[in-house]
Amino acid sequence: MRIGGENTRSIWVQPDGWSVGIFDQRRLPWSIERLTLMDAEDAVNAIADMATRGAPLIGAVAAYGLALALRSDPGDAMLEHAYRRIVGARPTAVNLRWALDRVLDWVAPMSPEIRAIEAYAEAARICDEDVAMNRAIGEAGLPLIQQIAARRKGRPVNILTHCNAGWLATVDWGTATAPIYLAHDAGIAIHVWVDETRPRNQGALTALELAEHGVPHSYIVDNAGGLLMQRGEVDMVIVGTDRVTANGDVVNKIGTYLKALAARAHDIPFLVALPASTYDPATPCGSDVEIEERGSEEVAIVSGEDAGRVRSIRLTASGTRNPAFDITPAALVTAYITNKGVIDSMDALTRTLHPK
């Protein structure tokens, strides 16, 4: 995808052949700044401080973080230590552990001399697979937009999304945005309602992405979605997810549950886009997932650009609480858009994403 007029992925190996580059998403959308990860601790800090975010991208950064650790010390003790440090960076997104387990399982049986090389290779495969899976999600979701477009007879299809499940949250294409990009590129008239997604305002990243791609959109406050649905100004809701549990519950950015409730009340399709790596058959239901509670400063302080400078302003002095995710029950989900097709039943979800 494009940012600042440049075609790029959200993560890359630097020209030196070993350090890893990412965008500092704490600075977006006001400025495009890049970070270089030199060791596993850099990867931990980038994930924990949300310099990088989005479940699939967190997994990719974690995979490269383990490779960076093994570059400095390929022994068993470092492998175990780095794994534990990185896996504890954030608790909710399942892709973090999934990617680390892949790299660990791949290199653990190997001799230390080749572990770092093989860890880099596995991390690269994870990234390439993520791009392919997201493109497949787009192809699976495109017909759903086409069906609504046919009924709209040339009028734009209005899509509401929450948080940033775009290419900045993955390696490329995004999950929720992949069908949107393909629909736009196919000449379908679409318009996206972009939730701001307080407290970190990740919707601003979605708006940045859509603007770079030329997709018509409007940035709205989180509480506007219900009114827009009530007025018939939303045709479908598409969100990403940090984890889908065995029973189909969706763990995603705080506020997703309310969008699902409003969509159900107004008979609007509520669609969840995810790659197979985000399905977690080992966790029975959403209530079994540890919901991350982040620092109160994210709620109490807001950042923005003023005359070319990024400034932070305190909104409240005390009394804040900051749960980062909520749980949308499977019963509120119309369908799951996956890299293996559109799935509209729990049995099919398990059979398709976790065949025995």
- Catalytic positions, please? 242
Q: Which conformational region is residue 43 in: left (phi greater than 0), alpha (psi within -120 to 50 degrees), or beta?
A: alpha
Helix axes 76-87, 40-48, angle to 10 degrees: 10
- Tally the residues of the chain: 356
Contacts of 194 (CB under 8 A, 6+ apart): 161, 203, 206, 207, 210, 217, 218, 219, 220
The span from the CA of 288 to the CA of 349, in Å, is 19
- Fill in the DSSP letter of residue 326: E
The span from the CA of 124 to the CA of 113, in Å, is 19
Burial label, 32 (beta-carbon count in 10 A; 0-12, 13-18, 19+): middle
Rg (alpha carbons) of the chain, rounded to whole number:
20
Pick from 124, 131, 126, 115: nearest CA to 82 = 115
Neighbours of 313 (CB within 10 A): 10
